[in-house]
């Protein structure tokens, strides 16, 4: 433990901000670490979770992933010895937390008898003009798609990026970009109740055409 503290002290001298963050993980039980890293989120884990979910185009409850990330960091803190670098180590914990939540959501999707509501996922239905329905199960099936399909749906239909702009960015034909975006939309239209008046869903179809 002394060697570990000395190493962190040397790092703190050269990188005061990073060193201060590292010190939050150094001492105590997982419960002690949680008490230091949850209030105010001094490690910036909420931002890291948001970046990773968007970058990998996963439709998950960010709050659920964040809570799991806190727990992962607290449990693994005593095994960290300064390598990899703190930001890389934290990113690994975020990715582990995402994998945990993905497995949980897959279990929900497999149980057709129940699809407990998750209000944090409601924002997905609004831009698609959908109401109610088994959003969690649909999201689990969406998350199992190839990342290229997820990205097209996410950027074009949820973020509203023009189809042509996304195609240029992805270096694919506009027709292929539309095909990819529609694949994600099909999952939700199959799983969720009919559109409220058809107009919003028709708009989503047009954006993917």
pLDDT tens sequence across 123-133: 777 777 665 55
Instruction: Tell me: do 82 and 159 sit in the same domain.
Output: no
- In terms of Cα–Cα distance, which of 121, 180, 120 is closest to 151? 180
Distance, in Å, from the CA atom of 72 to the CA atom of 31, rounded to the nearest integer, reads: 12
Instruction: Tell me: do 130 and 39 sit in the same domain.
Output: no
Instruction: Tell me: do 160 and 174 sit in the same domain.
Output: yes
pLDDT tens sequence across 93-122: 999 999 999 999 888 777 755 556 666 677
Distance, in Å, from the CA atom of 153 to the CA atom of 159, rounded to the nearest integer, reads: 9
**Where is pLDDT greater, at 34 or 122?**
34
Q: How many domains is the chain built from?
A: 2
Least confident of 23-27, 68-72, 114-118, 126-130: 114-118
Distance, in Å, from the CA atom of 9 to the CA atom of 19, rounded to the nearest integer, reads: 7
Contact at 8 Å (CB) between 190 and 183?
no
Calculate what percentage of the chain has a pLDDT beyond 90: 55
Contact at 8 Å (CB) between 138 and 188?
yes
Distance, in Å, from the CA atom of 184 to the CA atom of 152, rounded to the nearest integer, reads: 8
pLDDT on residue 198 = 46
Instruction: Tell me: do 27 and 100 sit in the same domain.
Output: yes
Instruction: Tell me: do 105 and 136 sit in the same domain.
Output: no
Contacts of 55 by beta carbon, 8 Å cutoff, 6+ apart: none
Of 47, 78, 109, at which residue does a domain stop? 109
Distance, in Å, from the CA atom of 171 to the CA atom of 176, rounded to the nearest integer, reads: 10
> The domain spanning residue 136 has which CATH number?
1.10.10
Instruction: Tell me: do 158 and 172 sit in the same domain.
Output: yes
Distance, in Å, from the CA atom of 150 to the CA atom of 173, rounded to the nearest integer, reads: 17
Instruction: Tell me: do 29 and 88 sit in the same domain.
Output: yes
Paired tokens of 49: 């979770």
Query: Which residue range is the domain that position 21 belongs to?
Result: 2-109
In the predicted structure, residue 150 carries a pLDDT above the cut 60: yes
Q: 């969690």: which residue's tokens?
A: 136
Span between the terminal Cα atoms of the chain, in Å: 60
pLDDT on residue 9 = 46
Of 109, 132, 148, at which residue does a domain stop? 109
Helix extents (H) in 57-173: 62-76, 86-110, 122-128, 135-143, 147-152, 163-170
pLDDT on residue 179 = 97
Instruction: Tell me: do 8 and 91 sit in the same domain.
Output: yes
Contacts of 86 by beta carbon, 8 Å cutoff, 6+ apart: 18, 21, 22
Least confident of 71-75, 82-86, 105-109, 198-202: 198-202
In the predicted structure, residue 6 carries a pLDDT above the cut 60: no
In the predicted structure, residue 194 carries a pLDDT above the cut 80: no
**Banded pLDDT at 78 (limits 50, 70, 90):** confident
Contacts of 16 by beta carbon, 8 Å cutoff, 6+ apart: none
Distance of CA 195 to the CA centre of its chain: 26
Of 109, 126, 142, at which residue does a domain stop? 109
Instruction: Tell me: do 169 and 190 sit in the same domain.
Output: yes
Instruction: Tell me: do 120 and 72 sit in the same domain.
Output: no
* Torsion angle in degrees (nearest 10) through CA of 196, 202, 208, 209: 170
pLDDT on residue 134 = 66
In the predicted structure, residue 8 carries a pLDDT above the cut 80: no
Instruction: Tell me: do 118 and 19 sit in the same domain.
Output: no
Paired tokens of 59: 């439709």
Instruction: Tell me: do 80 and 138 sit in the same domain.
Output: no
pLDDT on residue 40 = 96
pLDDT tens sequence across 157-171: 999 999 999 999 999
């Amino acid at each position: 433990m002394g060697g570990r503290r000395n190493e962190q002290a040397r790092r703190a001298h050269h990188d005061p901000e990073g060193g201060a963050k590292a010190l939050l993980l150094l001492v105590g039980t997982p419960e002690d670490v949680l008490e230091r890293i949850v209030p105010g989120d001094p490690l910036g884990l909420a931002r890291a979770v948001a970046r990773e979910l968007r970058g990998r185009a996963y439709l998950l409850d960010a709050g659920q992933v964040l809570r799991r990330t806190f727990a992962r960091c607290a449990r693994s803190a005593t095994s960290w010895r300064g390598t990899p670098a703190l930001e890389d180590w934290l990113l690994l914990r975020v990715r582990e937390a995402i994998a945990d939540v993905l497995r949980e959501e897959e279990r929900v999707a497999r149980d057709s008898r129940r699809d407990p509501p998750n209000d944090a996922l409601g924002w997905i239905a609004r831009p698609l003009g959908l109401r109610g329905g088994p959003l969690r199960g649909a999201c689990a099936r969406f998350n199992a798609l190839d990342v290229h399909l997820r990205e097209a749906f996410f950027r074009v239909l949820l973020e509203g990026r023009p189809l042509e702009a996304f195609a240029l960015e992805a270096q694919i034909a506009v027709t292929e970009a539309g095909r990819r975006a529609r694949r994600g939309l099909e999952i939700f239209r199959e799983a969720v109740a009919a559109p409220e008046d058809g107009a919003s869903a028709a708009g989503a179809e047009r954006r993917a055409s």
